[in-house]
């Protein structure tokens, strides 16, 4: 039976029990997804180097960036131990499919599994797209205020992810950002560095072998794929946790009382099979309720949640008009009034 909209949200264990029938892992299916996306990535990179027209090379490079996103989503599942039934296999598959995005597996694991999922939308804990208050924003130096304006303009989610998440928190992070030092963190950073060097050296060889310009191949087959990847991941994380109906909290008691695993994320819906193309990562409420649900079961899990909890889950049909309206209105957060505001403190409509 659906839970009445005025009744309390059931305990998380009860909600997870609803999803248990659709949480079964399928190792063969998971491996086939890895194989398919690795073939697609290799083909797109080859196209970015070998296709006979510059426009086709650029198109292939952009598509390679989108496939990096698909591979990353597989690694995201592996990092949650929800991809296959084998923990060690998940760890190695995660490292493998994280390589094209140059993502250090162990650092992503800590930042995402421990921090983001452990404290979703709790200020001073969850750092991903954490909004500032008006007072915090006004206390920033002018250059940092400019960064916030650029990041939250709607045009630069990739810049935010590349600088604030990857560079600061995942690629040899400083002691200030990551006081805990583990050898596996360094090893994973060295690994992605080696992958980047090998990737560039392969393009040096390809430029020589095909008589093409090295800067051109670096653009089409290295810079462009990573640019598209960063734009994609920055966008995806932004729309998952930035919405006029999604709350952030600055007090842990208030956050705990709000059933944050249901109320702090958005189910963004698309047409034309785009959700499937992104391995159902937009079925995000189900993922936050139970990280153990494999990506290839998330669509059914999300449908079950929305059937059982009518009116409790933020479901947003995607449109560019909605996206830029959100970017225009949701700049800062008023933690006292529990609402989003623009940079002048005006409440989002």
* Percentage with pLDDT > 70 across the chain: 100
The pLDDT value given to residue 2: 83
pLDDT, tens digit, for every residue of 168-200?
Answer: 999 999 999 888 889 999 999 999 999 999 999
pLDDT, tens digit, for every residue of 207-237?
Answer: 999 999 999 999 999 999 999 999 999 999 9
pLDDT, tens digit, for every residue of 17-59?
Answer: 899 888 899 999 999 999 999 999 999 999 999 999 999 999 9
Global confidence as pTM: 0.94
Selection from 227, 238, 224 nearest residue 153 by Cα: 238
Report phi then psi at 168, rounded to 5: -80, -35
Residue 9 has pLDDT above 90, yes or no: no
pLDDT band at 262 (very low <50, low <70, confident <90, very high): confident
Q: How many CB atoms lie within 10 A of CB 336?
A: 8
Q: Which of 12-16, 231-235, 304-308 ranks highest by mean pLDDT?
A: 231-235
pLDDT, tens digit, for every residue of 271-294?
Answer: 877 888 999 999 989 999 899 999
Half-sphere CA count of 119, side-chain side, radius 13 A: 17
C-alpha 96/C-alpha 72 separation (Å) is: 10
The pLDDT value given to residue 157: 96
CA 134 to mean position of chain CA atoms? 26
The pLDDT value given to residue 263: 80
Higher pLDDT, 260 or 203: 203
The pLDDT value given to residue 7: 77
Residue 1 has pLDDT above 80, yes or no: no
Query: Whole-number mean pLDDT of the chain?
Result: 93
Q: Do residues 34 and 96 touch, judged by C-beta distance below 8 A?
A: yes
C-alpha 14/C-alpha 30 separation (Å) is: 27
The pLDDT value given to residue 202: 98
The pLDDT value given to residue 113: 86
Q: Do residues 185 and 107 touch, judged by C-beta distance below 8 A?
A: yes
The pLDDT value given to residue 261: 79
Instruction: Kindly give, in sequence order, each residue whose CB lies less than 8 Å from that of residue 8, ignoring residues fewer than 6 positions away.
Output: none
pLDDT, tens digit, for every residue of 63-120?
Answer: 999 999 999 999 999 999 999 999 999 999 999 999 999 999 999 999 888 888 889 9
């Amino acid at each position: 039976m659906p839970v009445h909209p005025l009744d309390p949200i059931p305990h998380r264990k009860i909600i997870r029990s609803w999803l248990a029938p659709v949480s079964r892992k399928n190792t063969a299916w998971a491996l086939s997804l890895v194989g398919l996306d690795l073939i697609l990535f290799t083909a797109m990179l080859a196209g970015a180097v070998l296709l006979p027209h510059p426009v086709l090379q650029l198109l292939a490079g952009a598509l390679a960036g989108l496939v990096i996103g698909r591979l990353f989503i597989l690694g995201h599942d592996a990092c949650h131990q929800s991809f296959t039934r084998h923990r060690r296999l998940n760890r190695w598959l995660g490292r493998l499919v994280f390589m094209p995005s140059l993502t250090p597996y162990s650092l992503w694991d800590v930042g995402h599994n421990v921090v983001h999922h452990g404290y979703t939308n709790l200020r001073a804990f969850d750092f991903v797209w954490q909004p500032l208050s008006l007072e915090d924003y006004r206390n920033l130096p002018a250059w940092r205020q400019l960064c916030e304006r650029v990041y939250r303009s709607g045009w630069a989610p990739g810049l935010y992810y590349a600088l604030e998440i990857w560079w600061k928190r995942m690629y040899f992070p400083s002691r200030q950002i990551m006081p805990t030092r583990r050898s596996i963190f360094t090893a994973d950073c060295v690994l992605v560095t080696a992958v980047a060097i090998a990737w560039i050296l392969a393009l040096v060889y390809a430029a020589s072998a095909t008589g093409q310009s090295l800067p051109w191949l670096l653009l089409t087959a290295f810079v462009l794929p990573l640019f598209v990847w960063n734009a994609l991941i920055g966008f995806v994380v932004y729309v998952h946790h930035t919405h006029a109906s999604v709350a952030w909290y600055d007090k842990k008691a208030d956050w705990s009382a709000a059933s944050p695993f249901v109320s702090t994320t958005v189910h963004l819906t698309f047409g034309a099979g785009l959700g499937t193309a992104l391995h159902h990562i937009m079925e995000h409420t189900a993922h936050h309720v139970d990280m153990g649900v494999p990506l290839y079961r998330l669509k059914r899990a999300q449908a079950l949640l929305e059937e059982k909890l009518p009116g409790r889950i933020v479901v947003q049909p995607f449109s560019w008009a909605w996206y830029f309206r959100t970017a225009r209105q949701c700049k800062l957060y008023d933690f006292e009034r529990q609402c989003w505001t623009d940079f002048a403190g005006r409440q989002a409509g």
